[in-house]
Amino acid sequence: GAVWRRGSAAAFPGPAEKTMAQNIYDNPEFFAGYSRLPRQVQGLDGAPEWPAIRALLPDVAGRRVADLGCGFGWSARWFREAGAASVLGVDLSRNMIARARADTADPGIEYRIADLETLALPEAAFDLVYSALTFHYVRDFARLVRMVRAALVPGGGLVFTIEHPIFMAAAHPKWLLDEDGRKTWPVNGYSVEGERRTDWFARGVVKHHRTLASTVNALIGAGFALDRIEEFSPTPGQVAAMPELAEEMERPMMLLVSAVAAGDGV
């Protein structure tokens, strides 16, 4: 039940090895804007998808959890409140980790700065790996999920959310008006996978688009069995409480995935 200890250089590559990832969260302009988002001010209660995520999460009581792209540590603290034995929170951003450490007073949570492009967790060290809206920043998703599979015990869980491929496929993802004046989301270049650059709090934020099939097949190829997939949309109650959420019914913004590390012979 002890927190996974500070590991070797191989487990957490040094700064010289972190050349692939774009650390946009340490851009002062971006970080200032991001910090004002409701989900960063209010925590998990400010994330409309959180109830749907909770429905995918297994019982974490007594479990060892890794939170990849932990941000300010909201989820890490929730896992401990839900009974997790330990939580390792990983994020590339020094700003994020500094804030997470400042807001956390729990020896059962450890935060580390690391790049998911090169991260290598210890094998069979975790019962659950969780990630919220982070994996779409990773170029080599197949490598990442193979590493995650090795880090999980057989039967361990992977629960993650990403921007939905429909949401992020377009070169200019923004609402358009159709002939009837209805908001419409463009979907173009869907089958052309790779880098997408968008302006969000800062110019040139880099994300990596993959089709839904590529995402699912990478998980299957890494040895995961799919448990459930959700294409998040708000509930009628959420739309009634926040009418601005109604536009989220026009296209899926997030993909929620729950998978299980298949054991030998499965």
H helices within the chain, ranges in order? Answer: 28-35, 38-41, 50-56, 74-81, 94-102, 141-151, 165-168, 212-221, 236-241
Tell me if 79 is assigned to some domain.
no
Inter-residue contact 33 to 203 (CB < 8 Å): no
User: Would you say residue 134 lies in a domain?
Assistant: yes
Our CA dihedral for 133, 135, 137, 141, rounded to 10 degrees, sits at: -170
The DSSP symbol for 43 reads G
| Residue 14 confidence (pLDDT) | 33
Q: The domain containing residue 141 runs over which residues?
A: 115-261
- The confidence score (pLDDT) of residue 31 equals 55
Closest Cα to residue 1, out of 116, 130, 103, 107?
A: 107
pLDDT at 10: 32
- Measured in whole angstroms, how far is the alpha carbon of residue 50 from the centre of its chain? 12
- DSSP single-letter state for residue 180: T
Report the pLDDT value the prediction gives residue 189, as an integer from 0 to 100. Answer: 95
> Which residues, including other chains, have CB under 8 Å from residue 1's CB and lie 6 or more apart?
62, 64, 85, 86
Q: Is 189 left (phi over 0), alpha (psi -120 to 50) or beta?
A: left
pLDDT score for 173: 87
Total count of domains within the chain? 1
3-state class (DSSP) for residue 26? helix
Tell me, what's the pLDDT at 32? Answer: 61
Q: How far apart are CA 11 and CA 143, in angstroms?
A: 15
The CATH number linked to 247 is 3.40.50.150
pLDDT at 206: 86
The reported pLDDT for the residue numbered 153 is: 98
Residue 162: half-sphere exposure toward Cβ, Cα within 13 Å? 22
Sorted by sequence, the CB contacts under 8 Å of residue 34 that are 6+ apart come out as: 25, 40, 201
> Is 154 a member of any domain?
yes
> Looking at residue 263, what is its pLDDT?
75
Question: Which tokens hold the place of 212?
Answer: 């839904």
Domain-located, residue 53: no
Full pLDDT tens readout for the chain, 266 residues: 223 322 322 333 333 333 345 555 556 665 565 556 555 556 687 788 999 999 999 999 999 999 999 999 999 999 999 999 999 999 998 888 999 999 999 999 999 999 999 999 999 999 999 999 999 999 999 999 999 999 999 999 999 999 999 999 998 888 999 999 999 999 999 999 999 987 654 566 789 999 999 999 999 999 999 999 999 999 999 999 989 889 999 999 999 999 999 975 44
